[in-house]
Chain A
Amino acid sequence: MNIVIIDYGAGNIKSLQFAIERLGFNAILSSNEEEIKTADKVIFPGVGHADSAMKMLKETGLDKLIPTLKQPVLGICLGMQLLCNSSEEGNTKGLGVFNVDVKRFSSTLKVPQMGWNTISNLQTDLFKGISENEFMYLVHSYYVPICDETIAMTDYDGDYSSAFQKDNFYGVQFHPEKSSAAGEKILKNFLTI
């Protein structure tokens, strides 16, 4: 299987590559349009700032390419948020695959939310074999509100979307590559969709 992790300079992807290797697959890093288009699975990672990430996507033309992809695409963390219409982080426009706007956590909370929290109301095969209220590792200051496409929710002073899905596009707010055995199982589920 041909797995591509989209390379647009968005930080730490080594752990993701290692997790995929532990599952017995191999992923290449690429920003090449042809390589991304012909991949069987595409992973869209992201750590850092929405505004600067969008700038990097625009510079490489990946902002146009990503929404047109037909194979399963998994956005992780900021990658999930960038699939939305917009983000309050830097008042950035997103890729618009999901018609929802990314919000900032209330200032009455510790921000970023950092650590292990549960996922519930699990839907779709992405969560096959995963128990309700399984723990996932999350680090984020912005969140995707509950929407029609929500397939998992997490409570941080209110429920938000910790995963969503629309057609071939999936997004997870947690880091499956850092979420112990259950996280690796979710990654494996995605790679075998």
Chain B
Amino acid sequence: MLTKRIIPCLDIKNGRTVKGVNFVNLRDAGDPVELAKIYSETGADELVFLDISATEERRKTLANMVLQIAEAINIPFTVGGGISSVEDVAILLQNGADKVSINSSAVKSPQLINDLAAKFGSQCIVVAIDAKQIDGEWVVHLVGGKQPTTLNLFDWALEVEKRGAGEILFTSMDNDGTKDGFANEALKKLSETLNIPIIASGGAGTINHFMDTFKIGKADAALAASVFHFKEIEISELKKELKTQEIPVRL
């Protein structure tokens, strides 16, 4: 049976991980390659690297980092952040990324999804959607949730599926950082409306939150950052618990 995936997410700036990361036995907590190796050896099913740098050398630094990660790990990984063209994606995939995640550039130019899917195949195109509720409606936001669009989450999700996205990474801005659990109602609606896998993101605080997002939210995968980086939840522990609750996981 296909298992539910647990995905740690690493924020990258100028080739280094940022935000707090607290790992014992790690020589250098800022090195994404070392962190990637630890996660791949301790049961992560996939990794996501989100580049938030804004320098001119960004593309080159990112491409180089992807190459080093591909050399070091033997599980799949996705790279996102500031990707806006077929050329950007070509370099990252050539250097060993398995998938790329696009967000703002897809909203600004939806045709990019079609172009990427046609050139590289749907299986490596993840569309990330950040949304929050305004007057009861889920509204898609850009720039890390700062800038609202006129798009409704569910309409936009259907459109990106039609245009050839292979997967959707949905972050609820309402839940992100709260550690109060994932946005399971919206996730369930997405999962039941769409025919492609949905990754839940935003709100992970406890093992129960992961259980709920798979059982109630019908998510195919769950992504989290700080609970893993600060060892509040050990991935192996999490997966054992999920298994006892009869949620299929890779152990």
Contact = CB atoms under 8 A, between A and B. Distances in A.
Nearest to B167: A114
13 contacts: A12-B93, A12-B98, A14-B96, A15-B98, A18-B71, A110-B196, A112-B123, A114-B220, A115-B46, A116-B2, A137-B76, A177-B74, A178-B98
A68 interface: no
Interface in B101-134: 120-124
Given A115-B2, A116-B2, A178-B76, 12 more contacts: A12-B93, A14-B95, A110-B220, A111-B196, A115-B5, A115-B46, A115-B221, A137-B76, A140-B123, A141-B123, A177-B74, A180-B75
Q: Is the interface of B mostly helix, strand, loop or mixed?
A: loop
B45 A116 contact: yes
B74 A179 contact: yes
Contacts of A22: 74
A132 to B, nearest CB: 14
Interface string B75-102: 1100000000000000001111110000
Interface in B20-54: 40, 45-46
B2 A47 contact: no
Contacts of B98: 12, 15, 139, 178
Interface of A: 11-12, 14-15, 18-19, 21-22, 47-49, 107, 109-118, 135, 137, 139-141, 155-156, 175, 177-181, 183-184
B75 A11 contact: no
Nearest to B66: A14
Nearest to B166: A112
A108 B45 CA distance: 25
Contacts of B97: 12
Contacts of A15: 70, 96, 98
A107 B94 CA distance: 31
B1 interface: yes
Contact of A47 (B45, B67, B124): B124
A112 B93 CA distance: 19
Nearest to B198: A110
B195 interface: yes
B196 A112 contact: yes
B64 interface: no
B165 to A, nearest CB: 11
Contacts of A141: 122-123
A113 B2 contact: yes
A50 B2 CA distance: 24
Nearest to A179: B74
A179 B163 CA distance: 29
Contacts of A49: 121
B145 interface: no
A58 to B, nearest CB: 19
Contacts of B45: 115-116
Contacts of B5: 115-116
A114 B197 contact: yes
